[in-house]
Amino acid sequence: MAKAKFDVPELTEYVDVPAIAEGAMAHLSPFVAKPENNTDLGFPGELVDDWHDKTLEKLNDLRKRYRSLQVYLDACVKCGSCTDKCHYFLGTADPKNMPVARQDLLRKVYRRYFTFAGKYFPKLVGAEDLTRETLDEWYSYYHQCSQCRRCSVFCPYGIDTAEISMAAREILDSIGYGQKYCNEIIAKVYKIGNNLGLPKGALADTLEGLEEDVEEETGIAVKFPLDVKGADILLITPSADFFAEPHVDGLIGYGKVLHEAGVSWTLSSYASEAANFGMFIGSYENMRRVSRRIRKVALDLGVKRIVFGECGHAWRVAYSFLNTLAGPFDFLDPDYPVPQHIMEFTWDQIQKGNLNIDKSANDDMTLTFHDSCNVARATRMGDKPGGQIEIPRNVIKAVCNNYVDMHHETIGEKTFCCGGGGGLLTDDLMEIRVKGALPRMTALKNVMEEEGVTHMAAICAICKSQFTKVLPYFGMDMDQIVCVHQLVSNAIILTGQKTEDDAQEGEEAQEAEA
């Protein structure tokens, strides 16, 4: 494990609301994007000379474009509901990580330049001038928000801090002050097709390797097809599924389910990424450009359905915005959800009895489930309210004998972010990632001690990577985090697959014959 250069919070039974520590996280800012990555996304390469005017121009533009933003900036009554709901505040005690204070960083400038009271009596209404220091403060604290929207659940007005944080990042990008992690990654999607920069050759080689592995293990030739024209289903999954652990075990699970369902399916090398970091930087144009790749490849390959793999924010973009960004999808089969989540697909197969499941394959684990923020609070699955909370649990319970939920205040729509979402999953922000993981780590530790939980399942590439990294800081093991489809993969018995029981019976039969 990497040695921490900061104090790792101690796990106790409850996460207490901390006494505030002014400026505790003021030192933390992510690396700034290289000029070429900013320009790749259509932004100025470096901070523009007339940043003052351009910032206000952009703020004015955004509040007019998004009525919601204007409402959020106006509506807050400082009731205090949100103050202790943010994992980053709970983990850092920095009062600027209280959602209301984070909003106020933008709100004070909005008031100063766009409201009557702020123009004439700024001190009375907390309005402040826009200075060069304001930009740095925005850059720091709007990159200490994972846009998880937990605070908005508790706000009586429904103010969505994520949207304010996205707007602030969009303003910063528009004046040439972009973040390295997000902008470098979006540029890679445009150049190569995915966040990782995984070219077609490497992708094909990786998939071939998976086919070998599954066949070696099961004796069944499960295919992981790439760029197949005329396939029925296009599977769009985060590129981390091809690359990282435990993600790849989830991908193997999707492959097995699709194989058993007997459908024709394909991955694409052109749209080899479900993630859409355009949302993290609040850029409608970039979000659209990334999404259009999926539409293009769906048309080129002539698929009838689009299914998304385990990726939290991708499912938000897909479920909530895809039709606006890249629609209409009138060329897809209307008998299926457009688009569909792999969890819906698998649950449907389980209910139809199409999968042969041996739950005991997961008996070495007791599971709990981490609801990913974007899935839990910004999407749905299935045809009933709350399906996005229910269906992943249904799938886990269908393939595992031992399942326990974490504390009810930390799951479902009140779920705590993993600490690495919203464009924060980068080493230069490790301090906020570790500290922000405190509430989730506390809830996990409690069910480990009280209920004997051994593993936590997730359905988001960011959550999986984040936990792999931060679990060891809290004295836990990196492989305690698993994919839901990894559990499915463990339990599924493929048609024709020889199980250990079969092998034993075979031997016994042979012995009897002899």
Partner 1 sequence: MAIEVNGKSIETDEEGYLTNLNDWEKGVAEIMAKEDDLELTDEHWDIITFLREYYEEYQIAPAVRVLTKAVGKKLGKEKGNSKYLYGLFPYGPGKQACRFAGLPKPTGCI
Report in angstroms how near the CB of residue 213 gets to partner 1 at its nearest: 8
Asked if the peptide bond before residue 99 counts as cis, ω within 30 degrees of 0, the response is no
Cβ atoms of residues 145 and 102 within 8 Å: yes
Among 1, 19, 124, 512, binds partner 1 (CB under 8 A): 1
3-state secondary structure of 8: coil
Query: CB-wise, 171 or 378, nearer to partner 1?
Result: 378
**Integer angstrom CA distances of residue 408 from 203, 371, 392, 462:** 40, 11, 16, 22
Report in angstroms how near the CB of residue 112 gets to partner 1 at its nearest: 34
Piece of 103-111, 228-236, 243-251, 396-404 that binds partner 1 (CB under 8 A):
243-251
Q: Alpha-carbon distance 493 to 126, whole Å?
A: 63
Query: CB-wise, 305 or 469, nearer to partner 1?
Result: 469
Q: What is the DSSP letter of 403?
A: B
Among 93, 148, 153, 198, binds partner 1 (CB under 8 A): 198
Cβ atoms of residues 170 and 58 within 8 Å: yes
Kindly state whether residue 152 participates in binding partner 1, applying the rule CB under 8 A. no
Q: Alpha-carbon distance 298 to 303, whole Å?
A: 6
Kindly state whether residue 429 participates in binding partner 1, applying the rule CB under 8 A. no
Q: Alpha-carbon distance 381 to 447, whole Å?
A: 26
**159, 495, 196, 187: which is closest to 349 by C-alpha?**
495
Report in angstroms how near the CB of residue 428 gets to partner 1 at its nearest: 7
Report in angstroms how near the CB of residue 312 gets to partner 1 at its nearest: 9
Query: CB-wise, 196 or 342, nearer to partner 1?
Result: 196
Kindly state whether residue 202 participates in binding partner 1, applying the rule CB under 8 A. yes
Query: CB-wise, 207 or 488, nearer to partner 1?
Result: 207
Kindly state whether residue 213 participates in binding partner 1, applying the rule CB under 8 A. yes
Q: Which two tokens stand for residue 423?
A: 């464009």
Report in angstroms how near the CB of residue 229 gets to partner 1 at its nearest: 24
Q: Tell me phi and psi for residue 302, to 5 degrees.
A: 70, 35
Report in angstroms how near the CB of residue 205 gets to partner 1 at its nearest: 7
Angle at 55 between CA 51 and CA 57, to 5 degrees: 120
Among 90, 145, 171, 196, binds partner 1 (CB under 8 A): 196
Q: What is the DSSP letter of 492?
A: B
Site map (CB under 8 A) of partner 1, residues 219-238, x = contact: -------------------x
Kindly state whether residue 36 participates in binding partner 1, applying the rule CB under 8 A. no
Give the CA diameter of the chain: 100
Spatial neighbors of 416 by CB under 8 A, at least 6 apart, are 87, 148, 150, 410, 439, 440, 443
Q: How many CB atoms lie within 10 A of CB 267?
A: 26
3-state secondary structure of 200: helix
Kindly state whether residue 85 participates in binding partner 1, applying the rule CB under 8 A. no
Among 29, 81, 115, 206, binds partner 1 (CB under 8 A): 206
| Bridge partner list, 226 | 267
Report in angstroms how near the CB of residue 279 gets to partner 1 at its nearest: 13
Piece of 56-64, 239-247, 333-341, 484-492 that binds partner 1 (CB under 8 A):
239-247
Query: CB-wise, 209 or 230, nearer to partner 1?
Result: 209
Kindly state whether residue 153 participates in binding partner 1, applying the rule CB under 8 A. no
Kindly state whether residue 427 participates in binding partner 1, applying the rule CB under 8 A. yes
Q: Which two tokens stand for residue 513?
A: 């014959």
Q: Alpha-carbon distance 305 to 436, whole Å?
A: 37
Among 104, 184, 344, 431, binds partner 1 (CB under 8 A): 184
**100, 64, 72, 73: which is closest to 85 by C-alpha?**
100
Q: How many CB atoms lie within 10 A of CB 64?
A: 10
Kindly state whether residue 431 participates in binding partner 1, applying the rule CB under 8 A. no
Kindly state whether residue 210 participates in binding partner 1, applying the rule CB under 8 A. yes
Among 424, 425, 470, 484, binds partner 1 (CB under 8 A): 425
Interface ranges with partner 1 (CB under 8 A): 1-2, 31, 181, 184-185, 188, 194-199, 201-202, 205-206, 209-210, 213, 238-240, 242-245, 247-248, 275, 311, 425, 427-428, 461-462, 465, 479
